Amino acid sequence: MSTIITRVQESVSRVDRTRALVMGILTGIAAFFALWKIFWLIFAAATFSSLGYWSPWLVLSLLWWGAIAALGVFWSIVFLLRYSKQP
């Protein structure tokens, strides 16, 4: 029985080492940008009283950017670990 982690590892091991570095850096940048957006969303909700903490716009935006950040961090770690290993 194969798990998801095994499938991810098999898929990433087929990627060239240089491409793994590029993908790791790009997904890391995407994760950083998503975390930056989350910071400013929380700042805007705290600063502007008209938005409130539980407006649907804020909740959906936090879920969206949180998912992008989580996936970006995951794929960045996976690709950079692939790059750090010997070919």
Render each residue's pLDDT in the chain as its tens digit; 87 residues: 456 688 888 888 888 999 999 999 999 999 999 999 999 988 888 887 665 667 788 889 999 999 999 999 999 999 999 999 866
Q: Given CA atoms 76, 78, 80, 83 in this order, what sign does their dihedral have?
A: negative
**This prediction's pTM:** 0.83
What is the CA 73 to chain-centroid distance, rounded? 4
